[in-house]
Amino acid sequence: MIEIIPAIDIIEGKCVRLVQGDYAQKTVYNEDPLEVARAFEDNGIRRLHLVDLDGAKAQHIVNWRTLERIAGHTSLEIDFGGGLKSDKDLDIAFASGASMVTGGSIAVRNRDLFLSWLEQYGPERIILGADVKDGHIAVSGWLESADDEPLSFVRDYMTAGIRKVIATDVGRDGMLQGPATALYADMLAQLPGMYLIASGGVSSLQDIETLEQAGVPAVIFGKAIYEGRIPLGVLHRFM
């Protein structure tokens, strides 16, 4: 059974969604992310992907109080990402209630630091973010592209002990045009042992079913919920 992980993206303490990571294409869906998180919990959701978009842009954690509120007032298991660039950022995230953290840009730019987090907290709490844009790994809230090729990037970190990977096709994110199923199937075939969390493009229940049939272990999605394309009440079939 595929694991269902709704996403809440935060800018200035509000629940928003971007289109292809473009901060200029922002839609505010709720002024209070805790209200959204409680709705997820009330419908049987157990896991939340929380992204600090201000942090991703500022290069340090910003919206930790939002994380603290959600963690303190729900039982959701939260993986948190965005702006985690130092040991202090990580300490704040875990102290504020994150169960897991996701590192993408930091894994590209400071491998030693990311690996030290992996060694300290273990592969159950450290997730690798592999954001793919035009065939390369994207960094800094998807504002820049690195030279790294996705498969070799992930393989390298799996050799070091990473098991959980969030793979996002940036070109599909927020577009509601379907997920990059072929990309995920290729990654699963070439990287056995990876717990792949697909992200980007999910627009319907059928998209989730397609990913499940392709053997994808987990999926993150947000805009399809906020736009009413996937009612929360029907997600129980995956639980």
Q: At what angle do helices 150-159 and 181-190 cross, to 10 degrees?
A: 40
- Catalytic one of 54, 131, 148, 207: 131
Is residue 187 within 8 A of residue 157, CB to CB? The reply is: no
| CA–CA dist 73, 59 (Å, integer) | 27
DSSP secondary structure, 104-164, as one string = SHHHHH-HHHHHHHHHHH-TTTEEEEEEEETTEEEETTTTEE-S--HHHHHHHHHHTT--E
156 is catalytic: no
Helix (H, G, I), strand (E, B) or coil at 53: helix
Say if strands 136-139 and 144-145 run parallel, antiparallel, or are unpaired: antiparallel
131 included as an active-site residue? yes
The CA–CA distances, whole Å, from 118 to 5, 68, 102 equal 22, 23, 11
Catalytic residue selected from 9, 52, 54, 148: 9
SS3 of 14, please? strand
Helix 33-42 × helix 64-73 angle, to 10°? 30
| Beta bridge pairs of residue 19 | 22
The residues annotated with a catalytic role in the active site are 9, 131
